[in-house]
Structure 1
Amino acid sequence: MQFSPAKASHQRPSLLNSPSAECPKEVMDSDSLQPLRTFERFDLVSNTTLAGVQYGIILVLCCQCLPMFYRDYRRGDRPKQVMILGVQALVILVATTIFFLAQTITMVSAYIDFNDGGKGPLLYVCLTVMVKSSVMFWLFIGSMPITDILLTATEGWRIWRIWENSPYALCAVAVHFVLYLTKVGVLIAGISMYLNYGPHAGDEDSALKSNLEKLAAGFDEDPNRKSNLEKLAAVDMAIQALQAIQQFVAFCLICGRIILIHRPITHLTMLQPKSTQFTNLVTMLTESYALSTIVSAAMVFTTPAIASKSGAPGELIIKMMCRYVEIISYYLLLYRILSGRAWNRNTDRELTSLQWACHASAISTGSAVEAPPAIARRPLPRGNSANWNRLTNLPP
C-alpha cells in the first residue's frame, strides 16, 4: 500500500486532525486540507485505475502465452522446460492477482465505505493494512516476495543464457545475485524494524490517531518515534535504490552482450535492412528489461521529492507502476521465448543475418544454387581479429 506514516509526515499537516462527525463541512473543505485531498485523489487513482489497467495488460499477455504453452507441450520437444515455465507463469499470475484483489478491496472500503467517517480513508488504511496481525498486511507481505523471487530467478537465467558461451558467464550471474541478496538483507531489516515500531492490531483508534497527529506535527513530542520512522524511511529508500541498481546492472549485462555480438555481424554484412535493425532494437529492449529499468530509475529520482507537496502524487503513480511493470516485462520476455524469437544458447554462434542475405540473393536471381555452407552455417568464431580476417577472406 502506498500510504505509510513516514510519508504522511510531509503530506498531511492535519491528517489526522481527521474531522469527526460533528465537525462542520467548512472545516473539512478548508485550504489546510487541500494537500490531503490531492494526496487522496492520486492515491485512489493509482491504486485502482492505474493498477487495474496494468493488471489487465498482464492478464492479456498471460492469455497470449497459454496457446503457446499448449502447443509446445503437445509437440513434446522440451516438456520439462515448458512445464517449469508454465508453473512459474501461473504462480506469478496468482500472486499478482492476490495482491491486486487485496489492494482493490482495501481501497474500495477506504474510499467508499469509510470516506465520510470520522477516521477518514487514509486512517482506515493505516488501521486495516499496516497493522501487523491483519489479514491484508500478510497478504501484501506474502504475495510480493513470491513474485520478486521468481522474477529475479528468471532475470538471472536470461543473463546466464546470453552469457553462456562467454568465460565470464558465472561472474555476470554472480554480480546480479549478490545485488539481489543485498536487497533482500536490507528488506528483512526493514520488515523487522516495522514489526517493532509499526502499529499493532490492538491499538485503540484514539491512540493511533494521537501518534499520527504527533507524526504530522513534526515528532516534537516523541523524538524516539521520530528517529524510528526516519530509519524506516531510510530503509525504504535504500531498498528502492538497490532495486534500481539491480535492474540497471542486469540491463547493462544483457544489452551490452547483445550489442557486443551484433556489432561484428553488422560490420561483416556491411548493411542491414531497416526492419532487421528495428528487430535487433526490440530484442535488446525486451531481453534486457529496459522498461522495468526505466521505471525503477524514475522511482529512485522521484522518491526524495515526496518531501515537497508537489512531489508525492507523482511518487505514488510511479511506485504503483514499478510494482506491475516488472511483471509486464516478464510476460513480454516469456512471449518471446515461447514464440522462438528470444536469445538462446546458439544465437551468438550463428550468423543469422548472413544466412538470410545469402538465401535472399539466391531467390532474387532465380538460381537453385545454395549459399556456400562455409559462410551460411559457419559458427561465429571467438578470439582475436585474425579469426575475422580468415572468415571474411574465405574462398567463394
Structure 2
Amino acid sequence: MSNTGQLRLTEDVDLISATTINGLLYGIALSLFFLCVQSLYPQLKAPHLQRQAIFILGYTSAVMICGFVYLALFTQITQLAYIDHNTSPGELHGYEQLLYGQPIGVVLSVFNTMVDALTLGTQLWCLWVVYHATQYEIIIMVLPVLLYLVGVDLQLLLLQYPNLVSQIYSFLGSQVFIGVMNIAFQLAFTLLVTLLVIGRLLLIHRHHIKLMGATNISKLYMSIVTMFIESYALESAWVLASLISYIMGGIASLDFFSNCNVAIEMIAYFLVIYRVSTGRAQSKDARQQVTRSLEFNYSTGYTTQTSVLGTAT
C-alpha cells in the first residue's frame, strides 16, 4: 500500500474509533455508572455503610466526570482536525497530532492522567486490602507502587516537557512514544496486581478447604477471583492489543485501541464497583461480608481475620 493510502487508512480508522466506537464505549460506561449509583444509593440509608457509600459514590463520580471531560476534549480535537481543517486529505492525522501540543491537548492529557490515576489507584488499593496485615505486605506492594508512580509520571513528564521526548525520538513523535510507554506500564501494572490478588485469594481458598472443607465461604473466594478475572480481562486484552499493534508497526490499529483505552478503563472500574455493590461477586448468604471487605475503608466490627479480602492465613 502506498504512503498516501496508508495515511488515508490511518485517518479513517482514527476517525471511526474516536467518534463511533468511543461514543459506544462511553455509552456503556455511562450505563454502568448509573447502575453503580442505583446500587449504592440504598447504602446511604444504612448507618454502618453510609460513610463508605459516600466515599465510593464520590470517587466513582470523579472517574465519570474526568472521563466525560476527556471525551469532550477528544471530540473537539477530532472536529478541529477532520472538519474545521479538512483541507489536506492524507495529512489530517499529522495535524491532529500537532493539536496535542496545544492547550486543548495539554488539558486532555491532564484528564487522561486523572482517569488513569483514579482507576489504577483502585486496583492498588484492592491489592493493599488483600495483603494488609500479612508479613509480605510491604514487599508485595513495592513493585506495583513503583509501576503506578512511573506510569503516572510518564504522562506528567509530557505535560511539563512536551518537546523532550520528540527531540530524542523525533521519528515517532512525543505523543506516540509516551503513549506506548504508558501502555506498557499500564499492562504490566494491571496484570501484576490482578495475578497477585488472584494468587492470594486462591491460597486462602486452598487453606480454607484443608481446614474446613467446601463451604459457602470457600465458594466466596472463587466468586471474587472470577469477578477480578472478568472485570479486568477486557482491559488487559485491550492494552495488550495496543502494545502488539505498536510492535507490529500498525499505526492504524494502534490508534484504534489507544483512542478507546480510557473508556475501557472506566468500564472495567465500573464493573468491579457494580458487582461488589450489588453482591454479584458472591453467594447471596455472604453478600454483606464481601461488600464490607471490598469497600476499601470499612473499620466497624471487622478485623483482617474476619474480612474476606483481608483474611490472613
Match of 2:193 in 1: 250
Q: Distance in 2 between matches of 1:323 and 1:39?
A: 20
1:73 CA displacement: 0.5
Give the SS at the match of 2:248.
helix
1:99-178 alignment, distance < 5 Å: 99-116=70-87, 120-127=91-98, 129-132=99-102, 134=103, 136-178=104-146
Q: Is it true that 1:290 corresponds to 2:246 in the alignment? A: no
Distance 2:65 2:248 in 1: 33
What is the deviation of 1:78? 2.2
Give the 4+ runs in structure 1 shifted more than 6 A.
275-278, 345-348
Q: 1:67 to 1:227 in 2, by over 3 A?
A: closer
The residue that corresponds to 2:287 in the other structure is none
- Does the 8 Å CA contact 1:69/1:86 hold for their aligned counterparts? yes
Specify every segment of 5 or more residues in structure 2 that has no aligned partner in the other structure, as ranges: 282-289, 295-301
CA–CA distance in structure 2, aligned partners of residues 285 and 57 of structure 1: 19
Q: Deviations over 1:87-124 (max 9, x none)?
A: 11111111100111111232234323433458953344
Check the 8 A contact 1:65/1:334 in 2, yes or no.
yes
The answer to whether the Cα contact below 8 Å between 1:176 and 1:249 also exists between their aligned partners in 2 is yes
Alignment check: 8 A CA contact 1:162 1:257 kept: yes
Structure 1: gaps spanning 5 or more residues? 1-10, 12-30, 199-224, 353-379, 383-396
Distance 1:266 1:48, change over 3 A: farther
Q: Residues 51 and 324 of structure 1 are in contact (CA less than 8 Å); yes or no, is this contact kept in structure 2?
A: yes
The Cα RMSD (Å) is 3.4
**Other-structure match for 2:274:** 335
Separation (CA, whole Å) in 1 of partners of 2:172 and 2:83 = 32
- Go from structure 1 to structure 2 and tell me whether the alpha carbon gap of 1:251 and 1:351 turns closer, same or farther (over 3 Å shift): closer
TM-score, normalised with respect to structure 2: 0.78
Secondary structure class of the residue paired with 1:77: coil
Equivalent pairs: percent with the same residue? 20
What residue in structure 1 maps to residue 34 of structure 2? 63
* Aligned 8 A contact 1:110 1:120 in 2: no
C-alpha deviation, 1:237, in angstroms: 3.4
Superposition deviation, residue 381 in structure 1: 8.3
- In structure 1, how many angstroms separate the alpha carbons of the residues matched to 2:111 and 2:92? 23
Which has the higher mean CA deviation after the structures are superposed, 71-80 or 57-66?
71-80
Say whether the 8 Å CA contact 1:96–1:147 is kept in structure 2: yes
| Cα distance change of structure 1 residues 252 and 327 upon mapping to structure 2, 3 Å threshold | same
Instruction: Determine the C-alpha separation between the residues in 2 that align with 1:333 and 1:52.
Output: 21
Higher RCO, Cα 8 Å, sep 6+: 2
- Which of 313, 318, 341 aligns to 2:252? It is 313
The CA deviation at 1:190 is: 3.9
Contact 1:247/1:296, CA 8 A, preserved across alignment: no
Shift of 1:54: 0.9
Distance 1:264 1:197, change over 3 A: closer
Shift of 1:284: 3.8
Could you tell me whether the CA contact under 8 Å between 2:109 and 2:155 is conserved in 1? no
Q: How has the CA–CA distance of structure 1 residues 271 and 73 changed in structure 2, closer, same or farther, with 3 Å as cutoff?
A: closer
Instruction: Output the CA distance in 1 between the equivalents of 2:88 and 2:172.
Output: 30
**Aligned counterpart, 1:7:** none
After superposition, residues 192-341 of structure 1 pair within 5 angstroms as: 192-195=160-163, 227-229=169-171, 232=174, 234-266=177-209, 269=213, 279=223, 282-286=226-230, 289-306=232-249, 311-341=250-280
Question: Aligned partner of 1:327: which letter?
Answer: M
Please say if residues 43 and 49 of structure 2, whose CA atoms lie closer than 8 Å, have aligned partners that are also in contact: yes
User: Which letter maps to 1:283?
Assistant: M
Give the Cα–Cα distance (whole angstroms) in 2 for the partners of residues 71 and 79 of structure 1: 9
Decide which structure has the larger Cα Rg and report it.
1
Alignment-mate amino acid for residue 324 of structure 1: A
What is the CA-CA distance between 1:277 and the residue it aligns to?
A: 9.7
CA separation of 1:142 and 1:77: change in aligned 2, threshold 3 A: same
Secondary structure class of the residue paired with 2:162: helix
Query: Are 2:20 and 1:52 equivalent residues in the alignment?
Result: no
CA contact (8 A) 1:265 1:351 kept: no
Question: What is the CA distance between 1:45 and its match in structure 2?
Answer: 1.1
Partner Cα separation in structure 1 for residue 165 and residue 222 of structure 2: 52
Residue of structure 1 equivalent to 2:286: none
Correspondence list, 1:348-387, <5 A: 382=313
The alpha-carbon deviation at position 231 of structure 1 amounts to: 8.1
Contact 1:303 1:315 in 2 (8 A): yes
Is the Cα contact below 8 Å between 1:258 and 1:284 reproduced in 2? Answer: no
Q: 2:50 aligned with 1:79, yes or no?
A: yes
Aligned residue in 1 for 2:285: none
Question: 1:229, 1:190 → 2: CA distance?
Answer: 17
